[in-house]
């Protein structure tokens, strides 16, 4: 016990210090873990309403946020890792300020987003009650090496879950993984009416199992049925959640909401209320960099995070329809993925008509070269992000703007925008 208390205190201290220095979100967790290696397991031992791990290639942050919002709307206290810091020590660091000296988190439920590799570390320490498996696509192959490997990690996460799994019926990798687990599985997916829109969500040509999956939807399974481009229903066999209008645009956000709602219902059981869920979903703000809008000199500027071919493809089809001035910022730091070859698996043809005003980031020239091969004109190539941002905003003062950016480019751009335009702090949504 004393050891746990010491770990909690040391972790809290490290967090306060790290905060003052600005940064280091994994460090406090590391400090606490050094003193009490089992601290994560111990801290979650008092949580009885469910420990949920959300994983998959795309949509983790958005889906986690939606799931937490729906659960909280039902009166549950939920601990989550809201910063997009999807690694185990980040979870611990985030938890430290809330931990009493006993080291036991006081919360009904825990919902954490973890990337596939960190989910493995988490399940080694704490068996989750539930796993939400979103999708598998090529992402950071320099880290995970192969999609098959990524899929195997998610299968392990599903297999480690003690009470239930929620799985994407339209993703063959996920469906195979979920079919193999022993616990109950609930499915989410596109309604048969819009099955033809599946390519908007997945990177089709990376797959071999092209046979459309037909799955009988049973009790507790949910289908996404759009009403129009903004409004949709989440349809269970006995109840419909909706019509819902999200603050985020696009089919990807809708399917994330469907995944979150399916999971919430599995967790809440009889207590689940469709109207409460619909209201909660409609109020969720886009996580930063996922279609977040910042007003710059009276015009909206959208930051859109792009990490992999499927995500960039979805982003272009979601946001590409409205004409705006476009900038693309590509870095190749560790957090971005060091290999930029994936840019050649994205079609940029939808940008051909208007061109791209500025490319920026460490790989600004590689991006401009990529666009050149798709006959998309690039106005300027400015590797320095701040200089590029200035050139971009100054060059397009009277129209809406959009920046597609990799993770570290987004963080840097957002820092600059925050300094100039007073944004919410990182990892926070501002006053709620």
Find the shortest distance in angstroms from Cβ 383 to other proteins. Answer: 8
Binding mask 176-215 for other proteins (x = CB under 8 A): -----------------------------xx-x-------
Q: In the window 342-361, what residues touch other proteins (CB under 8 A)?
A: 342-345
Of 19, 34, 338, 421, which one interacts with other proteins (CB under 8 A)? 338
Number of residues that bind other proteins (CB under 8 A): 28
HSE of 345, CA atoms in CB hemisphere, 13 A: 20
Euclidean distance between CA atoms 1 and 6, whole angstroms: 9
If the CB atoms of residues 45 and 347 are measured against other proteins, the closer one turns out to be 347
Nearest to 66 by CA among 322, 310, 284: 284
If the CB atoms of residues 98 and 387 are measured against other proteins, the closer one turns out to be 387
Find the shortest distance in angstroms from Cβ 345 to other proteins. Answer: 5
Helix, strand and coil in the chain, % to nearest 5? 45, 20, 35
**Residues in a beta bridge with 401:** 301, 325
Find the shortest distance in angstroms from Cβ 339 to other proteins. Answer: 5
Residues 6+ apart with CB under 8 A from 289: 303, 304, 305, 405, 407, 410, 414
Find the shortest distance in angstroms from Cβ 135 to other proteins. Answer: 17
Binding mask 361-380 for other proteins (x = CB under 8 A): --x-xx-xxx-xx-------
Of 16, 17, 106, 145, which one interacts with other proteins (CB under 8 A)? 145
3-state SS assignment for residue 381: strand
If the CB atoms of residues 178 and 367 are measured against other proteins, the closer one turns out to be 367
Active site residue 339: yes
Q: How many CB atoms lie within 10 A of CB 372?
A: 12
Euclidean distance between CA atoms 403 and 267, whole angstroms: 37
Q: What's the DSSP call for residue 333?
A: S
- Joined together, the tokens standing for residue 120 give 């493995």
Euclidean distance between CA atoms 100 and 119, whole angstroms: 25
Q: Binding segment for other proteins among 141-149, 177-185, 245-253, 320-328 (CB under 8 A)? A: 141-149
Binding mask 311-330 for other proteins (x = CB under 8 A): --------------------
For residue 106, the Cα-to-chain-centroid distance in whole angstroms is 25
If the CB atoms of residues 57 and 161 are measured against other proteins, the closer one turns out to be 57
Q: In the window 75-134, what residues touch other proteins (CB under 8 A)?
A: none
Among 210, 339, 345, 390, the one annotated catalytic? 339
Find the shortest distance in angstroms from Cβ 342 to other proteins. Answer: 6
Find the shortest distance in angstroms from Cβ 116 to other proteins. Answer: 15
- Joined together, the tokens standing for residue 215 give 């799955």
Q: In the window 228-287, what residues touch other proteins (CB under 8 A)?
A: none
For residue 204, the Cα-to-chain-centroid distance in whole angstroms is 20
Residue 384 as a binder of other proteins (CB under 8 A): the answer is: no
If the CB atoms of residues 300 and 373 are measured against other proteins, the closer one turns out to be 373
If the CB atoms of residues 186 and 370 are measured against other proteins, the closer one turns out to be 370
**∠ at Cα 188 (126, 122), nearest 5°?**
15
Find the shortest distance in angstroms from Cβ 321 to other proteins. Answer: 25
The answer to whether 327 touches 409, Cβ cutoff 8 Å, is no
Phi, psi of 26 (to 5 degrees): -90, -25
If the CB atoms of residues 208 and 398 are measured against other proteins, the closer one turns out to be 208
If the CB atoms of residues 173 and 392 are measured against other proteins, the closer one turns out to be 173
Euclidean distance between CA atoms 289 and 304, whole angstroms: 5
Q: How are beta strands 231-235 and 222-226 bridged, if at all?
A: antiparallel
The answer to whether 343 touches 370, Cβ cutoff 8 Å, is yes
Q: How are beta strands 378-382 and 51-55 bridged, if at all?
A: unpaired
Q: Binding segment for other proteins among 125-133, 191-199, 263-271, 333-341 (CB under 8 A)? A: 333-341
Of 124, 146, 229, 428, which one interacts with other proteins (CB under 8 A)? 146
3-state SS assignment for residue 315: helix
Find the shortest distance in angstroms from Cβ 155 to other proteins. Answer: 14
Angle between helices 274-282 and 251-268 (to 10 degrees): 140
Residue 141 as a binder of other proteins (CB under 8 A): the answer is: yes
User: Would you please indicate which residues are annotated as catalytic (active-site) residues?
Assistant: 339
Contact residues: other proteins, CB under 8 A: 138, 141-142, 145-148, 205-206, 208, 338-345, 363, 365-366, 368-370, 372-373, 381, 383
């Amino acid at each position: 016990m004393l050891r746990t208390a010491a770990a909690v205190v040391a972790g809290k201290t490290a967090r306060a210090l790290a905060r003052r220095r600005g940064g280091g979100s994994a460090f406090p967790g590391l400090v606490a873990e050094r003193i009490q290696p089992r601290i994560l397991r111990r801290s979650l031992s008092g949580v009885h309403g469910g420990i949920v791990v959300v994983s998959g290639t795309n949509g983790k942050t958005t889906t986690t946020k939606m799931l937490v919002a729906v659960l909280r709307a039902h009166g549950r206290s939920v601990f989550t890792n809201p910063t997009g810091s999807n690694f185990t020590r980040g979870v611990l660091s985030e938890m430290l300020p809330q931990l009493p000296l006993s080291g036991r988190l006081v919360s009904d439920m825990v919902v954490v987003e973890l990337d596939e590799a960190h989910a493995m570390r988490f399940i080694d320490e704490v068996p989750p009650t539930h796993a939400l498996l979103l999708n598998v696509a090529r992402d950071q192959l320099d880290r995970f090496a192969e999609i098959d490997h990524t899929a195997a990690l998610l299968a392990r996460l599903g297999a480690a879950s003690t009470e239930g799994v929620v799985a994407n019926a339209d993703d063959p990798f996920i469906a195979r993984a979920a079919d193999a687990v022993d616990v109950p599985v609930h499915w989410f997916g596109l309604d048969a009416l819009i099955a033809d829109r599946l390519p908007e969500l997945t990177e089709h040509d990376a797959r071999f199992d092209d046979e459309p999956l037909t799955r009988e939807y049973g009790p507790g399974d949910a289908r996404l049925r759009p009403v129009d481009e903004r409004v949709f229903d989440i349809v269970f066999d006995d109840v419909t959640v909706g019509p819902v209008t999200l603050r985020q645009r696009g089919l990807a956000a809708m399917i994330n909401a469907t995944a979150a709602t399916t999971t919430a219902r599995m967790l809440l059981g009889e207590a689940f209320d469709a109207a409460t869920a619909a209201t909660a979903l409609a109020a969720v703000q886009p996580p930063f960099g996922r279609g977040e809008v910042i007003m710059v000199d009276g015009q909206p500027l959208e930051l859109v995070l792009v990490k992999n071919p499927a995500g960039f493809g979805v982003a272009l089809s979601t946001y590409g329809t409205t004409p705006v001035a476009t900038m693309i910022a590509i870095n190749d730091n560790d957090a971005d993925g060091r290999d930029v070859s994936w840019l050649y698996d994205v079609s940029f043809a939808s940008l051909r008509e208007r061109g791209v005003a500025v490319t920026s980031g460490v790989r600004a020239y590689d991006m401009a070269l990529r666009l050149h091969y798709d006959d998309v004109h690039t106005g300027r190539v400015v590797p320095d992000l701040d200089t590029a941002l200035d050139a971009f905003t100054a060059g397009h003062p009277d129209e809406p703007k959009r920046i597609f950016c990799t993770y570290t480019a987004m963080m840097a751009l957002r820092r600059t925008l925050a300094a100039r335009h007073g944004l919410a702090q990182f990892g926070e949504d501002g006053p709620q």
